[in-house]
Chain A
Amino acid sequence: MLSHEENHLLTHTKPGTPAGAYFRRYWLPALLAGEVPAPDCPPVRLRILGEDLIAFRDTQGRVGIVDEFCPHRRASLFWGRNEECGLRCVYHGWKFDTTGACIDMPNEPPEYGFDNKVRITAYPTREYGGLIWIYMGPTEHVPELPKLEWARVPETHRYISKRFQETNFLQAIEGGIDSSHSNFLHASVEAFRVTDDYVEKVKNSSNLRARYHLLDKAPRFTVKKTDYGLVIAVRRNAEEDTYYWRLTQFLLPSHTMIPYQKGLSIHGHCWVPRDDETCWVWTMSWNPDAPLSEEEWKAIREETFVHARVEPSTFRPLRNKDNNYQIDRSRQQTESMTGIHGFAAQDQALQESMGPAVDRTRERLGTSDTAIIAMRRLLLQEIRALQENQEPAAAHHGDVYWVRSASLVLKREVPFDEGARDLTVAEV
């Protein structure tokens, strides 16, 4: 459990909050590059860390992200006209460039020079890995971009999706690092029951997850603090003399990776607070060695794994709480534990059912929640350190993000960090 104070400290990220200050020390994914696809394209709204913003790509292709509201009369710049290297408020004609400078103010006499004195809040942006990133912190602490493998592969080797989730970011991350839930939430009925048919079907599978993951429902957790955050090692029994290990990373401030098996594509997430009750879930799938295969595209199209189809303007999943995530109760009886299609919708359904911001003073944790406890404790340490003016080291060392998740079978006497050393380094 957490105390009320700790829960509040971790989950509130609006301007002026300690966790908000912490997130504002990092580059954060803000938009798919395709949301502002071309010079002078329509501006788009976005909310991050409780701030309402407008993004636009100017005539020269530069992306600006500015306060949504014109400083004149507080009209929304969403209605603005994106023209000739600036976004013009259509109420009285004030125009702003990507740095936030007011470059035209046609309704004021030019001799007053009023336009030279006016600025709108504007944040630095970078285009990287198919995304527009934003930095919302102090100008004297601009961090490095994280050297994440998915951001470095060719476009043909990756797919990135974005979805809107109606929970605080923290309970979404907690789902991302909680290895034991997948034995239940993402299991088929036959896997959950460990039927003879299921065991026969998977006993020689080359897919380690299918073969071992669902057969040991009480995994053992080990965590290690690293330069980038945490590596979470989860051990399940495999054969008599081996363990099946799944290694996932939690990378500060809010990236996670799903354990990867060599030869398959890799998946990861970034969970960005939208406000204190909603978040953006970024999901990345990539193959470091080759373009995504037809099989991988099929899984994306059919939403069978980590991606979900969304309403294109709001990014709200089509399976959402208003339609009970399209649950199929007959399938729940016979096929899957949830009757909800796709891992993404299954996760979202359960996480949203906890309410927009779960009260962690009332939870009942056990030792299978070790990864969640470690992640919270690390974030609390980092946030408190920043309150004491200790800048987060990972934000200024992009190279530490050059890691990869792993899953593998090791002899029981081999420590996971030795056995997996070569597999957990990115390769692109």
Chain B
Amino acid sequence: MGLTGNGARIDGVNPAHIVAVRDFSSETLMAIAAHLDVSTDFEHLVYREAELDAVWSLSGFTLSQTQDSAVARLHEAAHRAHDLVGEGRPREAAALLRKFF
């Protein structure tokens, strides 16, 4: 579909590419979810974990400034998705993220 999320193309997704997580916009979450869908190797899962760590960190910084229930839900979901990746379940993590875009 040719959509670009922070530098990562959704079509022709390369799981060895780390998505540049500068925010937790829909585009960023879509890019991470697309990469999660095709991640299989140890290295890929490490990159996905790093991206989800970054989403969790950024949403946490936002929550420390202002209470926003949508951001709070995303923050929790990023945590859960991160743990799913750690458990070797990236596609379940992608499904979780898709609830937010």
> Contact between A365 and B53 (Cβ–Cβ < 8 Å)?
yes
Chain B: residues with Cβ within 8 Å of the partner, total of 24
Query: Provided the pairs A221-B18, A373-B50 are in contact, do residues A365 and B57 lie with their beta carbons within 8 angstroms?
Result: yes
Q: How far is the CB of B20 from chain A (nearest CB, A)?
A: 7
B45 contacts chain A at the CB level, 8 A cutoff: yes
> Contact between B49 and A377 (Cβ–Cβ < 8 Å)?
yes
Q: Which residues of B contact A220 (CB under 8 A)?
A: 18
- Complex Cα distance, B16 from A369, in Å, reads 16
- Complex Cα distance, B15 from A222, in Å, reads 12
* Binary CB contact string for chain B from 38 to 58 against chain A (1 if under 8 A, 0 otherwise): 000111011101110110110
A367 contacts chain B at the CB level, 8 A cutoff: yes
A185 contacts chain B at the CB level, 8 A cutoff: no
Find residues 347-377 in chain A having any chain B CB closer than 8 Å to their own CB.
Answer: 364-367, 369-370, 373-374, 377
Query: Provided the pairs A364-B61, A377-B86 are in contact, do residues A225 and B51 lie with their beta carbons within 8 angstroms?
Result: no
Query: Provided the pairs A3-B83, A221-B18, A370-B18 are in contact, do residues A364 and B60 lie with their beta carbons within 8 angstroms?
Result: yes
Q: Which residues of B contact A374 (CB under 8 A)?
A: 42-43, 46
Q: Which residues of A contact B35 (CB under 8 A)?
A: none
B91 contacts chain A at the CB level, 8 A cutoff: no
Partner of A365, one of B16, B54, B61: B54
Query: Provided the pairs A220-B18, A364-B61, A377-B86 are in contact, do residues A369 and B53 lie with their beta carbons within 8 angstroms?
Result: yes
Q: Which residues of A contact B60 (CB under 8 A)?
A: 364
Q: Which residues of B contact A3 (CB under 8 A)?
A: 83
> Contact between A373 and B53 (Cβ–Cβ < 8 Å)?
yes
Nearest to A370 among chain B residues (CB) is B50
- Complex Cα distance, B49 from A377, in Å, reads 10
Query: Provided the pairs A1-B82, A3-B83, A221-B18 are in contact, do residues A367 and B51 lie with their beta carbons within 8 angstroms?
Result: yes
> Contact between A366 and B53 (Cβ–Cβ < 8 Å)?
yes
> Contact between A366 and B54 (Cβ–Cβ < 8 Å)?
yes
Q: Which residues of A contact B53 (CB under 8 A)?
A: 1, 364-367, 369, 373
Find residues 75-90 in chain B having any chain A CB closer than 8 Å to their own CB.
Answer: 79, 82-83, 86
- Complex Cα distance, B44 from A373, in Å, reads 12
Partner of A364, one of B20, B21, B50, B57: B57
* Binary CB contact string for chain B from 16 to 32 against chain A (1 if under 8 A, 0 otherwise): 10111100000000000
> Contact between B57 and A366 (Cβ–Cβ < 8 Å)?
yes
> Contact between B20 and A367 (Cβ–Cβ < 8 Å)?
yes
Q: Which residues of A contact B43 (CB under 8 A)?
A: 222-225, 374
Chain A: residues with Cβ within 8 Å of the partner, total of 21
- Complex Cα distance, B53 from A220, in Å, reads 16
Nearest to B42 among chain A residues (CB) is A225
- Complex Cα distance, B30 from A344, in Å, reads 42
Nearest to A364 among chain B residues (CB) is B57
A378 contacts chain B at the CB level, 8 A cutoff: yes
Q: How far is the CB of B88 from chain A (nearest CB, A)?
A: 10
Query: Provided the pairs A1-B56, A364-B61, A367-B54 are in contact, do residues A223 and B46 lie with their beta carbons within 8 angstroms?
Result: yes
Q: Which residues of B contact A364 (CB under 8 A)?
A: 53, 56-57, 60-61
Q: Which residues of A contact B51 (CB under 8 A)?
A: 367
Query: Provided the pairs A364-B57, A366-B57 are in contact, do residues A377 and B42 lie with their beta carbons within 8 angstroms?
Result: yes
> Contact between A367 and B82 (Cβ–Cβ < 8 Å)?
no
> Contact between B21 and A367 (Cβ–Cβ < 8 Å)?
yes
Taking each of B16, B45, B46, B51, which has the highest tally of chain A beta carbons within 10 Å of its own beta carbon?
A: B46
> Contact between B49 and A373 (Cβ–Cβ < 8 Å)?
yes
Q: How far is the CB of B47 from chain A (nearest CB, A)?
A: 7
- Complex Cα distance, B19 from A222, in Å, reads 12
Find residues 325-361 in chain A having any chain B CB closer than 8 Å to their own CB.
Answer: none
Nearest to B88 among chain A residues (CB) is A381
Q: How far is the CB of B101 from chain A (nearest CB, A)?
A: 20
Q: Which residues of B contact A225 (CB under 8 A)?
A: 41-43
Find residues 380-425 in chain A having any chain B CB closer than 8 Å to their own CB.
Answer: 380-381
Partner of A366, one of B41, B46, B50, B79: B50
Nearest to B21 among chain A residues (CB) is A367
- Complex Cα distance, B56 from A3, in Å, reads 13
Q: Which residues of A contact B20 (CB under 8 A)?
A: 367
Q: Which residues of A contact B61 (CB under 8 A)?
A: 364
Q: Which residues of B contact A224 (CB under 8 A)?
A: 43
Q: How far is the CB of A166 from chain B (nearest CB, A)?
A: 27
Taking each of A1, A220, A224, which has the highest tally of chain B beta carbons within 10 Å of its own beta carbon?
A: A1
Nearest to B85 among chain A residues (CB) is A377
Excluding A225-B41, A373-B50, 16 further A-B contacts by CB distance (< 8 Å) are: A3-B83, A220-B18, A221-B18, A223-B43, A364-B61, A365-B53, A366-B21, A367-B18, A367-B21, A367-B47, A367-B51, A367-B54, A370-B18, A370-B46, A373-B53, A377-B46
Which 4 pairs across A and B sit closest by C-beta, in order of nearness? A364-B57, A365-B53, A374-B46, A366-B54
- What are 9 A-B interface contacts by the 8 Å CB criterion? A1-B79, A225-B41, A364-B56, A367-B20, A367-B21, A367-B54, A370-B47, A377-B49, A381-B42
